[in-house]
Amino acid sequence: MINDDIIRLRALEPEDLECLYKWENDMDLWEVSDTLTPFSLFTLKKYIETCHLDIYTTKQLRLMIERLDTNTRIGLVDLYDFDPYHQRAGVGIMIHNTENQKQGYATAAIRLMIDYCFETLGLNQIYSSVPSGNVGSRKLFEKLGFVQTGYRKNWLRRGNGWEDIVYFQLLNQ
């Protein structure tokens, strides 16, 4: 487990299946995760059974975020597009309930992932793509030293309109 004073990041367990099912099928979160269809319990069970595989094999890592004071699940943090040759990976985060947002948990989780990526995996950089309207996530990454390095216009379809994407990057310097 990876932890600090307020949260722990841990591997997914079989007991997380119902929680993961609820979160992955929450249509309010689909825009954040680029999901277009529901996930079945069967699919998520198979995912949990194989998510223990090495990041060098799967090129991704998903960790559960738990509050230390209550031992409750509050979200997920993901490394994706892990590229050991170019020493980079994308990072994404989801804090599920609004009562757990703006409490410092996302900051703590991303800070722990930065340390893990740079110190354990030896990455040169981590990056994130954030919808332009997601001001909270943009502020989170900026606060942690990520620099805006790109912008794509009309990148995400949102109902009858379009939303831009902002790219953030943090170099291991």
40, part of any domain: yes
Q: Assess if residue 9 is contained within a domain.
A: yes
Confidence of residue 165 (pLDDT cuts 50, 70, 90): very high
Structural domain boundaries enclosing 106: 2-129
* Span of 1-5, 29-33, 117-121 with lowest mean pLDDT: 29-33
Q: How many domains does the chain have?
A: 1
- Using DSSP, state whether 154 is helix, strand or coil: strand
Structural domain includes residue 134:
no
Average pLDDT of every residue of the chain: 93
- Residue 172 forms part of a structural domain: no
Number of residues that this document lists for the chain: 173
Q: What is the CATH number of the domain that holds 111?
A: 3.40.630.30
Task: Tell me the per-residue pLDDT of 73-121, one tens digit each, with 9 for 90 and over.
Answer: 999 999 999 999 999 999 999 999 889 999 999 999 999 999 999 999 9
The whole-angstrom separation of Cα 49 and Cα 140 is 31
Chain segment 115-142, per-residue pLDDT in tens: 999 999 999 999 999 999 999 999 999 9
Distances in Å between the alpha carbon of 93 and those of 27, 133, 134, 152, 155?
16, 16, 12, 20, 20
pLDDT at 51: 86
